Amino acid sequence: MPLQLYYAPGACSFVPHAALELAGAEFEPVLVKLHKGEQRSAAFLALNPRGQVPVLVDDGAVITQVVAIGLHLDARFPAAQLLPAQGLERIRALEWLAWMNNTAHPTFGHVFAPAKFTDDVAAQASVKAHALVRYRELLGELEAAVAARPGPWLGGASPGLLDAYAVTLLRWGGLAGIDPTTLPQTWALAQAFAALPAVARVLQRERLPLNLYQPAAA
């Protein structure tokens, strides 16, 4: 099979995973268990020395980074319209894709894994708390973008990369104690996206609940 996607359940690899299913691509999903450290195995590091998912292998070519993989899939499966095809609509979509990947995603990284940023345990709590406040603000920015979207989906007429990334960021927020229903536009978009048969297949394969938020016990 020419296409293989190395993914981890609930990770940012959900974005290309959903894109492949939306495109109707024939591909082999390869599970990488991050909690077991499989991303640091010799075999995986030979594929991606950064030890991260996603990795797409296309006919022997190894491609990493959500944005690069997403652009590759968009070019390979144009009929799927994973991004707007041209013009300012495409540029606006790329602006949001870049923001999701270079701003919102690494901010959540500080919430999820503060030990990556300091080995001082007290400072880790502070990094986490500060990043969580910032992450809430960023999800607020996302909510405004969803409200102003150019069509039923974030990229306009077709569901695609932006919707998949928005769902990922919203799910991560739930994990960090941010109730997705407080972001009603994004929550509605996430529910509509999850209901698409192609996306439902990904959620099922990754065994993902859409809403990870657990209210604090009274």
Ligand X SMILES: N[C@@H](CCC(=O)N[C@@H](CS)C(=O)NCC(=O)O)C(=O)O
* Coil, strand or helix at 151: coil
Min separation Cβ 104 and ligand X, Å: 12
Q: Indicate the residue among 39 and 107 with the shorter CB distance to ligand X.
A: 39
**Pattern of binders to ligand X over 83-122, x per CB under 6 A?**
------------------x---------------------
Beta-bridge mates of residue 61: 58
Q: Indicate the residue among 48 and 81 with the shorter CB distance to ligand X.
A: 48
**DSSP state, residue 156:** B
d(CA 24, CA 47): 25
Q: Can you count the helices (H) and strands (E) in the chain?
A: 9, 4
C-alpha dihedral (129, 131, 134, 140), degrees to nearest 10? -90
Q: Indicate the residue among 33 and 151 with the shorter CB distance to ligand X.
A: 33
Instruction: Indicate whether 11 belongs to the interface with ligand X (CB under 6 A).
Output: yes
**Pattern of binders to ligand X over 50-89, x per CB under 6 A?**
-xxxx----------xx-----------------------
Min separation Cβ 215 and ligand X, Å: 25
Options 47-55, 75-83, 135-143, 148-156: segment touching ligand X (CB under 6 A): 47-55
Please, are residues 99 and 157 in contact by the beta-carbon 8 Å criterion?
Answer: no
Which one of 7, 9, 12, 162 is in contact with ligand X (CB under 6 A)?
12
Instruction: Indicate whether 164 belongs to the interface with ligand X (CB under 6 A).
Output: no
Size of interface with ligand X, in residues (CB under 6 A): 11
Q: Indicate the residue among 66 and 162 with the shorter CB distance to ligand X.
A: 66
- From the list 179, 187, 164, the residue with the least C-alpha distance to 96 is 164
Write the DSSP string, 36-95: GTGGGSHHHHHH-TT--S-EEEETTEEEESHHHHHHHHHHH-GGG-SS--SHHHHHHHHH
Q: How far is CA 94 from the centre of its chain?
A: 15
Which tokens belong to 188? 């509605």
Min separation Cβ 102 and ligand X, Å: 8
Q: Indicate the residue among 138 and 156 with the shorter CB distance to ligand X.
A: 138
Q: Note the residues at the interface with ligand X (CB under 6 A).
A: 11-12, 34, 39, 51-54, 65-66, 101
